[in-house]
Amino acid sequence: MDMEAEFAAVRKDIAEGRLSEVPAKIKAIAENGSDPFTAVKCISLMSAVGDRSIMPDLIAIAEKTASDDETKLQIALALRSLGFPSNAYGMLKGIPKTDETLRASAECLSDMEEYESALACLESISSPSLSDRCLLAGTYSSIGEHSDAISVSSELIAENPANYEAGVAYVSSLISAGKQKEAVKYVRANLKEKTADSYALAAYAMWIVGNAKSAGAYASRAVQIDHAHVGAMEILGLSLAEKGEIDKARIVAGAINEVRPGDKAALNIISYCDLRS
């Protein structure tokens, strides 16, 4: 079977609206392949058309054909980004615990809202990255440990004052703790920089407090400065969906996939589009 030709035929079916024919063709591609990444590609295509009918079969093929630990890790990361954290975590449990697998496990558990278990994974990482510490702050907030969340995120912005991810962690921690005024004050102070990150952070804060209109406006400014700012693109897509502009929101999700294939931000937009429509 010429996989590329088969995938091209499926994409043509999708583009021309013959969606009823897609599941059978996709399943045949996955079943005839021995590469777990082919199965993941099939899962991604089925997600794009919003059809979950054969997802269990495709996931089972991906899990079965992933032989070594490194491949299992990569497939688990892909499954999590596609919205299947439980399946991803199931694969990770059979892999030796390293910082990388602990990090991936924590992300899956957080998606599953099993925050105490996520915290245990994060606290076991020997060399935590900035992203690990951001997730740690968010996890503390989720279990109600707001002082710890603010402490961790305050350290992050002290060490990385211009970092968007650190700023998001700090703003999230403050808002979760009921300190919205402090969060807004911090965001406004950052806006003086007039950078993509400062506008994107303002967009994030406005979205969190429920001001979708301002969130969209700030996100648009950020994207004008940096066309590849995924954080700003995510808020822009969500804001468009909130306004009912579903087609435009889906275009933004597609743009995110072009910039950073498999990023969960695109899935978040698609999921919100489905919810709003």
49-74 per-position pLDDT tens digit: 778 899 999 999 999 999 999 999 99
Is 199 found in the same domain as 273?
Answer: yes
Q: pLDDT at residue 78 above 80?
A: yes
For residue 145, being part of any structural domain is answered with yes
The model's pLDDT over 219-261, given as tens digits with 9 standing for 90+, comes to 999 999 999 999 999 999 999 999 999 999 999 998 998 898 8
The mean pLDDT value for 86-93 works out to: 96
Is 204 found in the same domain as 256?
Answer: yes
Is 198 found in the same domain as 164?
Answer: no
Q: Which residue has the tokens 């082919």?
A: 38
For residue 25, being part of any structural domain is answered with yes
Q: pLDDT at residue 139 above 80?
A: yes
- Residue type at position 154: S
Is 172 found in the same domain as 100?
Answer: no
Is 270 found in the same domain as 199?
Answer: yes
* Residue among 42, 41, 117 at smallest CA distance from 86: 117
The model's pLDDT over 177-207, given as tens digits with 9 standing for 90+, comes to 999 999 999 999 999 999 999 999 999 999 9
For residue 226, being part of any structural domain is answered with yes
Q: Cα separation of 207 and 253, whole Å? A: 17
Query: Which residues make Cβ contacts (< 8 Å) with residue 176, sequence separation at least 6?
Result: 141, 142, 146, 149
For residue 275, being part of any structural domain is answered with yes
Q: Cα separation of 39 and 95, whole Å? A: 20
Is 132 found in the same domain as 121?
Answer: no
* Residue among 201, 208, 247, 206 at smallest CA distance from 226: 201
Tell me which of 140, 166, 184 is where a domain ends: 184
Domain that holds residue 94: 78-125
Q: What is the CATH number of the domain that holds 239?
A: 1.25.40.10
Q: pLDDT at residue 47 above 90?
A: no
Is 236 found in the same domain as 200?
Answer: yes
Is 144 found in the same domain as 179?
Answer: yes
Query: Which residues make Cβ contacts (< 8 Å) with residue 42, sequence separation at least 6?
Result: 26, 27, 29, 30, 58
What proportion of the chain, given as a percentage, has pLDDT over 70? Answer: 100
* Residue among 115, 116, 62 at smallest CA distance from 90: 62
The mean pLDDT value for 102-125 works out to: 97
For residue 106, being part of any structural domain is answered with yes
Q: Which residue has the tokens 């021309």?
A: 16
161 in Cβ contact with 192 (< 8 Å) = no
Q: Cα separation of 103 and 99, whole Å? A: 6
Domain count across the chain: 4
For residue 274, being part of any structural domain is answered with yes
Is 52 found in the same domain as 120?
Answer: no
Q: Cα separation of 4 and 10, whole Å? A: 10
Is 210 found in the same domain as 149?
Answer: no
For residue 71, being part of any structural domain is answered with no
Is 176 found in the same domain as 224?
Answer: no
Burial of 210 (0-12, 13-18, 19+ CB in 10 A): exposed
Q: Cα separation of 85 and 77, whole Å? A: 9
Is 154 found in the same domain as 83?
Answer: no
Q: Cα separation of 11 and 256, whole Å? A: 19
